[in-house]
Amino acid sequence: MEYIEKGIELNPDSEKLYLLAGLCLRAVGLYEKARDFYNKALTSNKFNKAGFYNLIGNTFDEEGNYKKAAAYYEKASKYDNSFVAAFCNMGDMFVKMNDYESALQNYQKALEIDGKFIVPYIKIASLYYYKDDFAKSSREALKALKINTADNEANYILGMSYKKLGKYKESLEYFKKAAFYGNDKAVKEIKRLNVL
């Protein structure tokens, strides 16, 4: 850390050094110190302010302070209203606070910005799955798979949704794909389905 601080002292216009400092501090649980570096970076007109607001939000998320995290993700989205990650992160915080309608609105906003970004589709599919709306969950997972057929999480969610809908053959097919692409939870589901 001392070398990073020295680097910032020598080159205060290096955005990467502020990013690295925050990342190192977060890795050892020093969230307040990480925020100090991110807040210093926010004083520069040369850095991506939306990105640093987003990073501050991440520190609050990692501490379990979802309300504050959501507030910083909102600042990031207001600073750059095309910053898709901020809307996805905000949606995640609303899920953690059990405000599913607000979560869905943020994921849909992310899709309005970039309809080819797979993450919001997966998050919406997961949201519908946990709300026991398996038909909608499967539709969203299929949309995600149109973007990337190799996404292990989309394949897994689709498998889980089909399983809940009683479509065991289709479920097994998507669990196998998810497992092939590295999803360990899918391996467990394959074992369960092979017992049925």
Mean pLDDT by 10 residues, the chain (196 residues): 69 80 92 94 92 97 98 97 96 97 97 96 97 97 98 98 96 96 95 75
Task: Give, as one character, the DSSP assignment of residue 46.
Answer: S
pLDDT of residue 158: 98
Q: Domains (ranges, CATH) in the chain?
A: 1-47 (no CATH), 49-114 (1.25.40.10), 118-196 (1.25.40.10)
pLDDT of residue 3: 64
pLDDT of residue 187: 94
Instruction: Report how far residue 98's alpha carbon sits from residue 178's, in angstroms, rounded to the nearest whole number.
Output: 27
pLDDT of residue 90: 98
Instruction: Report how far residue 13's alpha carbon sits from residue 5's, in angstroms, rounded to the nearest whole number.
Output: 13
Residue 82: CB partners within 8 Å, gap ≥ 6? 113
Question: 3-class DSSP state for residue 195?
Answer: helix
| Closest of 59, 124, 60 to residue 87, by C-alpha | 124
Instruction: Report how far residue 61's alpha carbon sits from residue 15's, in angstroms, rounded to the nearest whole number.
Output: 22
pLDDT of residue 195: 60
Residue 178: CB partners within 8 Å, gap ≥ 6? 152, 153, 155, 156, 159, 185, 186
Instruction: Report how far residue 196's alpha carbon sits from residue 186's, in angstroms, rounded to the nearest whole number.
Output: 15
Distances (CA, A) of 90 to 65, 82, 140, 153: 12, 14, 19, 20
| Closest of 122, 120, 118, 196 to residue 163, by C-alpha | 196
pLDDT of residue 110: 97
pLDDT of residue 193: 83
| Closest of 62, 114, 61, 43 to residue 85, by C-alpha | 114
pLDDT of residue 11: 64
Which contacts qualify for 133-137: CB closer than 8 Å, 24 or more apart?
134/161, 134/162, 134/164, 134/165, 135/161, 135/165, 137/161
